[in-house]
A and B are shown apart, each in its own frame.
Chain A
Amino acid sequence: MQEFLGLPPEASTYAHEIDGSMAMIHWLMFVLFAGWGAFYVYSLLRFRRSKNPAARYGGLKSKFPYVVVAAVAIFEGVALAAFDLPLWAKLVKDIPSEKDATVVRVVGEQFAWNFHYPGPDGIFGRTDISLVSPENPLGLDRNDPAAKDDITTVNQLVIPVNRPVIVRLTSKDMIHSFGIPYFRVKQDAVPGQSVRLSFTPTMTSDEVQEAVARFYRIDRATDTDKFSVFVAQQEYRDKEGNVLLAKGDGITPDVAGKLADAGIGEVRLGPYSPIEVACSQLCGLGHYRMRATVTVVTATGFQEWIKDQEAALQQ
């Protein structure tokens, strides 16, 4: 059912459980629709005027429709009590200790996502709206000792795989929504309130890229703008062995032409940054481009990234 629904990759721990619920409820929907649909089509055919010139005053004698209604009610009751309410409670309340998690403050603004890491000391530095400037969108007070090692990024969330992430979410201006489709995460960022949410990524960005890569037909007439978010998943050479398209490179009209010359009609492409934060609450004219990338790396990769960021801070 998940495949039939075309659900995206499940890249976090909760994704699988939510998809399970999604599949179950869609089964109910399909069964109900098919059952009632069959009854409906049969009735329309069998009781059309040319076939059945005189109507029957009493209509259907059976009370079966009420049995169906009762069955739906029972199914919904069971789905609620056994699956959805416990899962919702887990999603909302099951937040691990901050010691065992990667903690990130996320602050939405028109039209960017600010990410704020506490740094090695684990303490977020003081922020003050009077310090907000284009260079310091969060208004972080770098004179505060706790702020000295704080890392901030814009539109780039880097997190380690298989370790819980705790997000402290808020907004500077409008209501935004912090949605990560591949994690089945979505939470409104409401100004004036801070919400905590937690998820655990289970796939690295490279794994997701591999999972969603597909073969695409390319020829001279291809509009390569359509592939602007894609990169090649493998290397393509011509007969002489010259590299036409290296792994990790994008497609340009020039490259498409060369591939066509070499008789290569299909290339395997994956999105350059597959996991992304999509603002899903209308927040103004730039809402459609309020996108951040999520890079999920291995634990060691994350340590290296932190080290690089700290080194950059020292300079």
Chain B
Amino acid sequence: MTQSTSVEHGSGHESQGFWRTYLFSQDHKTIGIQYAITSLLFLLFGFTLMMIMRWQLAYPGQPIPLIGKFLGEANAPDGIMLPEFYNQLGAMHGTIMIFLGVVPLGVGAFGNFVMPLQIGAPDMAFPKLNMMSYWVYFAGGVTMLGSFLLPGGAANSGWTSYPPLSDIATIGQTAWLIGMFFLITSSLLGSINFIVTIVQLRAPGMTFMRLPFFVWAQLVTSFLLLLAFPPLEAAACLQLMDRLAGTSFFLPSGLVVSGQVVQASGGGSPLLWQHLFWFLAHPEVYVLILPAMGIVAEIIANNTRKPLWSYRSLVYSTLFLGFMSFIVWAHHMYITGMGTTLGTFFQVTTMIISIPSVVILAVLIVSLWGGSIRFTTPMMFACAFLPMFGIGGLTGLPLGLAPTDIPLHDTYYVIGHFHYIVAPGSIFALFAGVYYWFPKATGRRMNDTLGKIHFWGSLICINTIFMPMFIQGLAGVSRRLYDGGAQYAHAQGVLSLNLVMSVAAWSLAIFQIPFIINFFVSIRKGKKVGDNPWDATTLEWATSSPPPHGNFIRPVEVYRGPHEYSVPGAARDFLPQNDPA
């Protein structure tokens, strides 16, 4: 996007004109930036949906100020939100944040931009496939957004889309399923490309154990996407047939909805959908978190000025985690009527998968020890990731054990748990990545003061949003309630927290303004930097900022591991991977 045309084009690549350079580019860096901007916009949009919901939770049944009258008579007559609309916002917040925001930012943007540079490749293995992956993702996003304009609005059965509710929901659900086809297809195209690129296009000397951890994270993530998404694509196909072709894959016999017997052949199982859905959606959790861990590991090594503590443990734990993530899915389903055999299996696998997570977090925290820590903006976000992800991970324990899951299941405790993983966890790491690689993509640095305002404001607000959710959840307050639980006696003691959380959410929005200004202003006005402003070791810093088409002007060769900082006896405190010295 900001790649200067004056940059010397490596290996004889010719200038390709505006359309091929900026819009239908096959250059992984341009595609990465396209993914970054699109997914950041989707994150903002998904967050906006939540801010509207938070009004209804703080002030149930009161007209929404400012934007209320623009939401449409079908959604919010006189500015007062209807339950139908609340459910649409909830379903689409989840869908957009996960499938259009965090995953495309972590994989599509950072994976695309950084990974080929880090392994010393000229581009992705299949550049056309890469371009297609972005545009299919874009089509999926447009489909999801457009669904708000359909009669009955967007999908309203939760991001989990459980039948029978989703089978008989308004037409927005059909749009959701079609949107998911696009997004899944995009992920599949991307993941095969990533795997082939990492396996085939590493520079000479870049052995697997010399890969930056970020690349390992992307490799495992790609395998998860490749293997876990097809079951959901099949399931989405079945649900689409239930809705359009009169099949009953997920509809049992004898349904009576609103006093009317449902005319369907019946014989299906609603639980089949849940198994297929969670078979994707649990590995999906690791798709959300692994790229974030990759980013954090790189930034911690760079800013502590020392190698990661036990890189090998990190790599092996990640591989093991990836494998285990395929056999824990039904821990989302303990209360569907699961017996003891299945319950035992999934509780045991869930406890087992917590161990590699503990190891990964331990490695990252222990890596701080003995460092010479620079508190740059990316490092502050990366450091905050550690305790935030820690809270998210720890609160997974009582949910992973079936007896303690009973009172907590489907309460705000669950919402708090996974938001700690994804929001102050993954999204903080992604912000760290934006600040860290922005100079590589643009040749300019983002402003540090604005970055720190963004950091501290976000950290305080985000904890004020999610910490009270644990309190509400422990008191037994269910999630997905249009009035936030106002009708329930057991919710009364913790109801006042709804306002606290809402105010914190709106304040969080205010603290994103410095980031947005910083991002756009720095593209043109940021302080100019050289090739390697962070004194880093990995290969993306061995080329110009921004890198030319083809990435490296001269072929690179790799001589050592990824994080050789503060090597005793070396002249400087970092030894780049391509430095033969």
Verify if B2 is at the interface (C-beta below 8 Å from A). Answer: no
Q: Which of A89-97, A141-149, A250-258 contacts B (4 or more CB under 8 A)?
A: A89-97
Please tell me if the beta carbons of A57 and B482 are within 8 angstroms of each other in the complex. no
Please tell me if the beta carbons of A283 and B165 are within 8 angstroms of each other in the complex. yes
Please tell me if the beta carbons of A173 and B337 are within 8 angstroms of each other in the complex. no
Interface string of A8-43 (1 = CB under 8 A from B): 100000000110011001101100110011011001
Please tell me if the beta carbons of B270 and A190 are within 8 angstroms of each other in the complex. yes
Verify if A249 is at the interface (C-beta below 8 Å from B). Answer: no
Please tell me if the beta carbons of B383 and A278 are within 8 angstroms of each other in the complex. no
Please tell me if the beta carbons of A91 and B403 are within 8 angstroms of each other in the complex. yes
Size class of the contact patch on chain A: 35 or more
Please tell me if the beta carbons of A68 and B254 are within 8 angstroms of each other in the complex. no
Known pairs A22-B404, A190-B270; A7 contacts B354 (CB<8 A): no
Known pairs A55-B370, A285-B84; A29 contacts B395 (CB<8 A): yes
Q: Compute how far the CA of A149 lies from the CA of B374 in the bound complex, rounded to whole angstroms.
A: 78
Q: Compute how far the CA of A279 lies from the CA of B485 in the bound complex, rounded to whole angstroms.
A: 11
Known pairs A80-B401, A186-B409, A229-B492; A55 contacts B304 (CB<8 A): yes
A274 CB, min distance to chain B CBs, angstroms: 5
Verify if B489 is at the interface (C-beta below 8 Å from A). Answer: yes
Interface string of B388-409 (1 = CB under 8 A from A): 0011001101100111101101
Please tell me if the beta carbons of B256 and A132 are within 8 angstroms of each other in the complex. yes
Verify if A299 is at the interface (C-beta below 8 Å from B). Answer: no
Q: Which of A118-126, A177-185, A238-246, A304-312 contacts B (4 or more CB under 8 A)?
A: A177-185
Interface string of A270-293 (1 = CB under 8 A from B): 011110101111111111110100
Please tell me if the beta carbons of A54 and B488 are within 8 angstroms of each other in the complex. no
Verify if A217 is at the interface (C-beta below 8 Å from B). Answer: no
Q: For A190, A212, A230, which residue has the most chain B Cβ atoms within 10 angstroms?
A: A190
Size class of the contact patch on chain B: 35 or more
Query: Which residues of A from 82 to 105 have beta carbons under 8 Å from B?
Result: 83-85, 87-89, 91-93
CB-CB < 8 A to B409: which residues of A? Answer: 177, 186, 280
Verify if B142 is at the interface (C-beta below 8 Å from A). Answer: no
B58 CB, min distance to chain A CBs, angstroms: 13
Please tell me if the beta carbons of A179 and B478 are within 8 angstroms of each other in the complex. yes
CB-CB < 8 A to B368: which residues of A? Answer: 40, 43-44, 47
Verify if B253 is at the interface (C-beta below 8 Å from A). Answer: yes
Please tell me if the beta carbons of A173 and B335 are within 8 angstroms of each other in the complex. no
Interface string of B474-488 (1 = CB under 8 A from A): 111011111101011
Q: For the complex, would chain A's binding face be called helix, strand, loop or mixed by DSSP majority?
A: mixed
Please tell me if the beta carbons of B252 and A192 are within 8 angstroms of each other in the complex. yes
Q: Compute how far the CA of A80 lies from the CA of B400 in the bound complex, rounded to whole angstroms.
A: 10
Query: Which residues of A from 145 to 182 have beta carbons under 8 Å from B?
Result: 172-175, 177, 179, 181-182
Please tell me if the beta carbons of A72 and B358 are within 8 angstroms of each other in the complex. yes
CB-CB < 8 A to B208: which residues of A? Answer: none
A161 CB, min distance to chain B CBs, angstroms: 18
Please tell me if the beta carbons of A276 and B402 are within 8 angstroms of each other in the complex. no
Please tell me if the beta carbons of A186 and B372 are within 8 angstroms of each other in the complex. no
CB-CB < 8 A to B555: which residues of A? Answer: none
A114 CB, min distance to chain B CBs, angstroms: 11
Q: Which of A55, A59, A60, A185 contacts B406 (CB under 8 A)?
A: A185
Please tell me if the beta carbons of B374 and A49 are within 8 angstroms of each other in the complex. yes
Q: Compute how far the CA of A58 lies from the CA of B369 in the bound complex, rounded to whole angstroms.
A: 10
B265 CB, min distance to chain A CBs, angstroms: 13
Known pairs A68-B362, A282-B480; A88 contacts B261 (CB<8 A): no
Please tell me if the beta carbons of A47 and B254 are within 8 angstroms of each other in the complex. no
Q: Compute how far the CA of A232 lies from the CA of B512 in the bound complex, rounded to whole angstroms.
A: 46
CB-CB < 8 A to B488: which residues of A? Answer: 229, 276, 278, 291
Beyond the given pairs A52-B372, A173-B258, 13 more chain A to chain B contacts, judged by CB atoms under 8 angstroms and listed by A's residue number, are A17-B403, A21-B398, A44-B373, A55-B305, A55-B573, A56-B306, A59-B371, A65-B366, A175-B164, A177-B410, A181-B476, A186-B410, A230-B492
- What are 8 of the A-B contact pairs (CB < 8 Å)? A43-B369, A55-B304, A91-B406, A177-B409, A191-B252, A192-B270, A271-B489, A278-B488
B residues contacting A by CB (< 8 A) are 82-84, 87, 90, 156-158, 162, 164-165, 252-259, 261-262, 266, 268-271, 304-307, 309, 335-340, 343-344, 347-348, 351, 354-355, 358-359, 361-363, 365-375, 383, 386-387, 390-391, 394-395, 397-398, 401-404, 406-407, 409-411, 471, 474-476, 478-483, 485, 487-490, 492-494, 565-568, 573
- Listed from nearest, the 4 A-B pairs whose CB atoms lie closest are A192-B252, A181-B476, A271-B489, A56-B370
